[in-house]
Amino acid sequence: MAVPASAVPISSNVQFDAALIRKMSQQGPRYTSYPTADRFTDSFGMGDYLQAVNSVRSMGARNPLSLYIHIPFCDKLCYYCACNKIITKVRSKADEYLTYLKREIEMQGKLFADMNTVEQLHFGGGTPTYISDAQMGELMAYLRKWFRFATDDDGEYSIEIDPRTVSQERVHSLRAQGFNRISFGVQDFDPDVQKAVNRIQPEECTLGVMQAARDAGFRSISIDLIYGLPKQNLMTMDKTLSKVIAANPDRLSVYNYAHMPTLFKPQRRINEDELPSGETKLDMLSLCIKRLTEAGYVYIGMDHFAKPNDELAIAQRQGRLHRNFQGYSTHAEAEMVAMGVSAISSVGSTYSQNEKTLEGYYERLEQGELPICRGLKMNVDDLLRRIIIQMLMCNFELSVKSLELAYPITFANYFEKELEKLRALEADGLVTIDSEWITVTPKGRLLIRNICMVFDRYLGMPREVKVERMHYSKTI
């Protein structure tokens, strides 16, 4: 099936234009933060973080808290994976890790004592359910010891799981431990594709976990798909989509597989001859958008879909959607406190990242220090551009007047060069521009990263001043 060069209307809020995607596709950030993590420096340390926390406290601690907990361990290696993970069957490593993680939780809990309520919690990895049911219960109790949590009705408490590692009983236990949202990877239901990426996950296993989550009372079920994997084609993708739609998850993420074996060693085990062509990948993306929107899902942006009554879709309609290191969120103003190896916090006008290795993480905590290894303190220009990128990525529009009221700028003067670049994108049909609004068109929504890159001041900097080599995936 060939993708026509002309624009193909998919739904009222997103439009697939194969010729435009071919023209515009390039490497670029996903903007889970701005400035992006490759701008963090090791000159930022624990003292800078403490200063940020004190600044938040002195300002009245108006914002709720969002906690992220990183569990890096996995039982098995998935060849496509680009996450920071540790493959091991030695369970004692998890025991040791949890001991240190609890030290960090206590330190952060003391810093944020009496500073508002946790309204969001996310466990990521790795595989959070690598730790046992008893360990998870102890960890959740420890978090509640040091942080005050909103009620189950008011809080959003999510966990990523691997359906291959949990029983239906474990799913019920996770709900009892306080989680009310659950997400997991499917990638593709086709057995040959699963074998090619070393992730054998029978359909009945996935569907059984989904049903258990519904029976347990989880408020939201989210699944991940990937297009561009070895041995995938339109037929396998169409069959997978039919099964996914029948399973009826609340949210979906449909990711483009970025094959970068020089950067991610596990990907070297993938047979490149079995990867679909670029044209086939475009066909699969078009098919995913068509099938999911026809099934009633709303295109949220950046690979994400949700049911119209899902909180993400509602937040987007109301203009209060947010994007952070965990993806799209309804908690726009929360201070994000991230704990665990490599985890990234966003507190006040700073970002800070923990040590990326277990050895470095443990060593810092042994010394009685928060395990921060690098970060960034944003200036006024960073904050202004962050808001612009947030608005465009989350709401697909930007009010020029609201920015001019919030910041002492004249938009047309301050962003003169950026507006010149936007005019070129306007000529291609990605945006519309007038004196009061910049609006992303339906065909521009799939290329939102390209649009946001216009406002990224760091992309144009000479190579010698960049902090570390950038390895961005293609925008489509």
pLDDT (tens digit, 9 = 90+) per residue, 364-377? Answer: 999 999 999 999 99
> Does 126 belong to an annotated binding site?
yes
Strongest mean pLDDT among 80-84, 153-157, 332-336 = 153-157
pLDDT for residue 304: 92
Residue with tokens 């290894």: 373
205 is annotated as contributing to ligand binding: no
Q: Which of 87-91, 111-115, 327-331, 436-440 has the lowest mean pLDDT?
A: 327-331
Residue 31 marked as a ligand binder: no
Is 360 annotated for ligand binding?
no
- Does 340 appear as a known binding residue? no
Provide the CATH number for the domain formed by 37-337 in this structure. 3.80.30.20
Average pLDDT, the chain: 91
Does 74 belong to an annotated binding site?
yes
Give the model's pLDDT for residue 421: 96
CA 474 to chain centre: 16
Domain ranges in the chain?
Answer: 37-337, 380-458
Query: How does 457-472 read in b/e, with b if 16+ C-beta sit within 10 Å?
Result: ebeeeeeeeebeebeb
Is 127 marked as a binding-site residue? yes
475 marked as binding residue:
no
Q: Which CATH class is domain 380-458?
A: mainly alpha
Query: Which pLDDT belongs to residue 332?
Result: 66
199 annotated as ligand-binding: yes
Handedness of CA 443, 445, 449, 455 (dihedral sign): positive
Residue 80, annotated ligand binder? yes
Residue type, 167: S
Flag whether 427 is marked binding. Answer: no
* Contacts of residue 473, Cβ cutoff 8 Å, sequence gap at least 6: 27, 28, 30, 256, 258, 260
Cis peptide before 125 (omega within 30 of 0): no
Residue 452 assigned ligand-binding role: no
∠469-473-476 over CA atoms, to 5°? 150
Which range, of 20-29, 193-202, 342-351, averages the lowest pLDDT? 20-29
Query: How do residues 380-411 score in pLDDT, each as one tens digit?
Result: 999 999 999 999 999 999 999 999 999 999 99
What does the pLDDT average to over 441-465?
84
* 162 marked ligand binding residue: no
100 carries a ligand binding annotation: no
Is 155 annotated in some ligand binding site?
no
pLDDT computed for residue 476 by the predictor = 64
